[in-house]
Structure 1
Amino acid sequence: MDLQKGKLYWNTTFSNTPSYPRLEEDIKCDVLIIGAGSSGAQSAYYLSESDLNIVIVDKRKVGHGSNLTNTALIQYLGDKMFFELVNTFGEEYAVKHMKLCEQAINDIEYADQNLPYCSDFKRRDSLYYASYEEDIKKLEKELYYLHKHDFKAAWLSEKQIGQRYPFKKRAAIYTYNDGEINPYKFTHSLLEQASNKGVHIYEDTEIVGKKLEKECAIFYTKGGNSITADKVIVAAGYEGLEFKKEKNATLISSYAIVTNPVEDLSSWYKRTLIWETARPYIYMRTTADNRIIIGGLDEDTNIAQERDS
């Protein structure tokens, strides 16, 4: 799959990355992880604490899939608003989802503190502003459920926003203790730690076929080898749909830019993560070397030529 186009940023932030071999023999394992990006690396990292024989493979180099264009704003609020989750799934499940997302940020922070090298993880607050007048009521509903279930959040009026930021918006929710990270460094650091604990990592190893048996699954590589696994985790990102179709899943295109380093970011209040209620929306963050990442404006196409035009 043609995942991205353009000059990429994250791989310029980390030189001398570890390299891993291509699979050149038939092997067996307890758990096979397909995909060595952020999700696959986190799976390998946590499973490395077990006594299981873990194998992770990727068709590319480690961290060179969509990981390279991951803007890595780590927030417990998502594209579907909290009150919308309540309406769709019920309050109990919505709250559980939100609490797990909140805990996941804590888990990422803890992992980062115990990895071989720094992944530039920083705790950041978030500003979630109303793009349109009619969106203010949506934010009011959102804040109601956040406060009801003890999430730390505050309402900012137009005046309060103007006191903190060099722009004007009618209203916003200000949430606390989100985060940002360098996903490329994080992925490599997780996998180096996992490798040190016995996880087998193979790059340039593309899966081209599979055979599902009653007791195991056999996956075949482009190089002509096989991997027999008791359990399989498909962590192939957007390409995961090539392994298992999901009738409600669709692929779209999104965009991101990274600026050159900015000399003075003092007007950016606490370097908060900034996003909006519009759909599609724009979001932004800063980086460890004082750049600004701006992303969003999704388009309903998965055709590379349309995306790149």
Structure 2
Amino acid sequence: MHLQSGYPYSLVKYGLPNDYPKLGSDLRTTVTVIGGGISGALAAHALVQAGIDCIVLDARTAGLGSTVASTSLLQYEIDVPLTRLIKQIGRSGAERAYRLCAASIGELEAISRRLPGVPFDMKPSLYLASYKKDLPLIEAEHKARRRMGLDVLLWDADTVKHTIGLDAPGAIYSRAGAQTDAYLLTHALHRYNLKKGAQVYDRTLVTDIRTHKKGAVLTTAGGYTVQTKKIIVATGYESLQYIREKVVELRSTYAVASEHRETATAWYENCLI
């Protein structure tokens, strides 16, 4: 599966901030995290903070999967709008999901502040309606988000045009948002976790997982084993190989980075869009 192509911006700018060994012996641990990208690094960080010993294994060079191609825009919106999610799982569960996503931005800021060299900027966010037919959704979303306590404003077409210079029939302006660099944050987390006792191995492909009553035994392509009580799968899109049911349909997305351009209208509060 090709998670990226071309030259990811963060890799070009920062190269390899850290290197990690391949697994070269049999090991035993409490928790094994499969995947050394941003999700795996954050999972390992939570474990070491709780005093739980763990090992991180990545088939690639750490961070060079989907993490290095991430836009690193932190917005609390998930793939399903709040109003639609309420219909699917009920108001309590839907609002809890959105509330947790919004709270996680502040938690990530707190983590990043403790790690040297990681850029992290709190920014507002703009959720645009692409067409007039999207306005009812935008209006309903604004109402639902306000009802659950999120700090949002409803912008009409004139406000969008005069504030940020874009042609859109409407938008939701949110106070909660941020931007970081997931690739740098990943390596900073690994460095922190290593100092706290975690172990990180990349270029170490897990080829077999055999479970038993007390845990599991992982076998790598190099023939080494890891005996573990628990497994956390943090391999992003590639986690589908561990799920028997077809629960998603993958589609291609694109992220493009460019040089900064001066425009006639100033970028309002440097917000995310």
Could you tell me whether the CA contact under 8 Å between 2:3 and 2:65 is conserved in 1?
Answer: yes
Q: Secondary structure at the match of 1:5?
A: coil
Counterpart in 2 of 1:285? none
Would you tell me which structure has more helix in proportion to its own residues?
A: 2
> Structure 2 vs 1, CA of residues 263 and 161 (structure 1 numbering), >3 Å: closer, same or farther?
closer
- Give me the TM-score of the superposition, normalised by structure 1: 0.85
For 2:13, the equivalent position in structure 1 comes to: 13
What amino acid is the match of 2:103?
Q
Kept in 1: contact 2:76–2:176 (CA 8 A)? no
Instruction: Map residues 61-72 of structure 1 onto 2, 5 A cutoff.
Output: 61-72=61-72
Q: Which residue of structure 1 aligns with residue 105 of structure 2?
A: 105
Once the two structures are TM-superposed, the CA of residue 244 in structure 1 deviates from its matched residue by 2.7
Structure 1: stretches of 5+ with no match in the other structure:
275-309
Q: 1:261 to 1:170 in 2, by over 3 A?
A: closer
Residues 64 and 129 (structure 1), Cα distance of their counterparts in 2 relative to 1, 3 Å cut: same
1:14 positional shift: 2.1
Residues 1:246 and 1:187: Cα distance change in structure 2 (over 3 Å): farther
Q: Hey, what's the Cα distance between the residues in 2 that align with 1:89 and 1:265?
A: 44
* Range with bigger deviation, 186-195 or 70-79: 70-79
**C-alpha displacement of 1:104:** 0.7
Cross-structure match for 2:124: 125
Matched, 1:228 2:235: no
**Conservation of the 8 A alpha-carbon contact between 2:208 and 2:218:** yes
Residue 259 of structure 1 aligns to a residue in which SS? coil
AA matched with 1:40: G
Change (3 A) 1:112 1:19: same
In structure 2, list runs of 5 or more residues that go unmatched.
none
Q: How does 1:240-251 map to 2 (within 5 A)?
A: 240-251=239-250
Aligned residue number for residue 203 of structure 2: 204
Aligned residue number for residue 279 of structure 1: none
Aligned to 1:54: 54
Consecutive aligned runs of 4 or more in structure 1 exceeding 3 Å deviation: 261-266
How far did 1:266 drift? Answer: 6.8
CA gap 1:110/1:265 in 2 versus in 1, 3 angstroms: farther
Report the Cα distance in structure 1 between the residues aligned to 2:259 and 2:104, rounded to whole angstroms. Answer: 31
Q: Distance in 2 between matches of 1:250 and 1:56?
A: 27
1:94 aligns with 2:94: yes
Whole-angstrom CA distance in 2 between matches of 1:25 and 1:199: 16
Shift of residue 75 of structure 1? 0.9
Deviation of 1:15 (Å): 4.2
Per the TM alignment, residue 13 of structure 1 is displaced from its structure 2 partner at its CA by: 2.7
2:51 and 2:95 map into 1 onto residues whose CA distance is 33
| Distance in structure 1 (CA, Å) of the matches to 2:167 and 2:265 | 17
**Counterpart in 2 of 1:148?**
147
Alignment deviations for residues 170-211 of structure 1 (CA, whole Å, 9 cap, x no partner):
211111121111111010011110011000010110001111
What are the equivalent positions in structure 2 for 1:281-300 lying under 5 Å apart?
A: none
Residues 30-86 of structure 1 deviation map (CA, whole Å, 9 limit, x = unaligned): 000000001000001111123322100101111011111111211111221110111
Mapped partners of 1:90, 1:273: distance in 2: 29
Q: Take 1:243 and 1:71, find their aligned partners in 2: how far apart are those partners?
A: 26
Amino acid at match of 1:46: A
Cα distance in 1 between the residues matched to 2:270 and 2:110: 21
Q: Distance in 1 between matches of 2:262 and 2:135?
A: 34
| CA deviation vs aligned residue, 1:203-258 (integer Å, no higher than 9, x gap) | 11000111111111111100000111000000011111122334222222111111
**Matched residue type, 2:6:** G
Q: Distance in 2 between matches of 1:32 and 1:251?
A: 26
Give RMSD over aligned pairs.
1.5
Give identity over the alignment, percent.
30
CA distance in 2 between partners of 1:199 and 1:46 (Å): 11
CA deviation vs aligned residue, 1:156-181 (integer Å, no higher than 9, x gap): 11221122112222211111121111
Amino acid in structure 2 at the alignment position of 1:101: C
What amino acid maps onto 2:53 in structure 1? Answer: N
Compare 3-12 and 260-269 and name the one that shifted more.
Answer: 260-269
2:43 aligns with 43
Find the aligned partners of 2:25 and 2:240 in 1 and give their Cα distance.
26
Give the residue type in structure 1 aligned to 2:54. I
After TM superposition, the structure 1 stretch with the greater mean CA deviation from structure 2, 15-24 or 179-188, is 15-24
Larger RCO (CA under 8 A, 6+ residues apart): 2
Confirm or deny: 8 A CA contact 2:164 2:265 kept in the other structure. Answer: no
